[in-house]
Amino acid sequence: MRIVLAEDSVLLREGLVRLFDEAGFETVGSYGDAESLLAGIDEAKPDVAVLDVRMPPTFRDEGVRAAIELRRRMPRLGVLLLSQYVEGTYAQELLSSGDGGMGYLLKDRVASLDELEDAVERVSQGGTVLDPQVVAELLSRRSDPLATLTPREREVMTLMAEGRTNAGIAKQLYIGVGAVEKNVTSIFQKLGLEDSGTDHRRVLAVLTWLQR
Q: What are the residue boundaries of the structural domains of the chain, listed by start?
A: 2-140, 144-210
Q: What is the pTM of this model?
A: 0.63
Name residue 99's amino acid: D
Rounded Cα distance between 156 and 85, Å, is 21
For residue 41, pLDDT over 90 is answered with yes
The helix/strand/coil state of 196 is coil
**CATH class assigned to 2-140:** alpha beta
For residue 61, pLDDT over 60 is answered with yes
Q: Per CATH, is 144-210 categorized as 1.10.10.10?
A: yes
Mean pLDDT calculated for residue range 185-195: 83
Using one digit for the tens of pLDDT, what is the confidence trace for 93-134? 666 665 678 888 888 877 778 888 888 998 998 887 877 776
Name residue 123's amino acid: V
Q: Calculate the average pLDDT of the chain.
A: 83
